Amino acid sequence: MNSYRYKITVEALTGAKGEPVEGRTLSFETANHDDILGIVERMRAWLPFDSHTVASLGVGLKLVSEVALMERNDPMFAAIRPALGEFVRGLKQRPETIASESPRRLL
Q: What is the rounded average pLDDT of the residues 34-39?
A: 96
User: Which pLDDT score is estimated for 105?
Assistant: 37
What's the rounded Cα separation, in Å, for the pair 59 and 42? 13
Cβ contacts of 52 within 8 Å, gap of 6 or more: none
Determine contact, residues 84/68, Cβ cutoff 8 Å: yes
Given a cut of 80, whether residue 101 has pLDDT beyond it is no
Determine contact, residues 1/33, Cβ cutoff 8 Å: yes
Task: Report the CATH number that the domain containing residue 58 is assigned in CATH.
Answer: 3.10.20.850
**Lowest-confidence pick of 37-46, 48-57, 66-75, 91-100:** 91-100
pTM value? Answer: 0.82
Determine contact, residues 14/21, Cβ cutoff 8 Å: yes
Residue 67 lies in a domain: yes
Task: Look up the domain containing 27 and give its range.
Answer: 4-101
Question: Domain tally for the chain?
Answer: 1
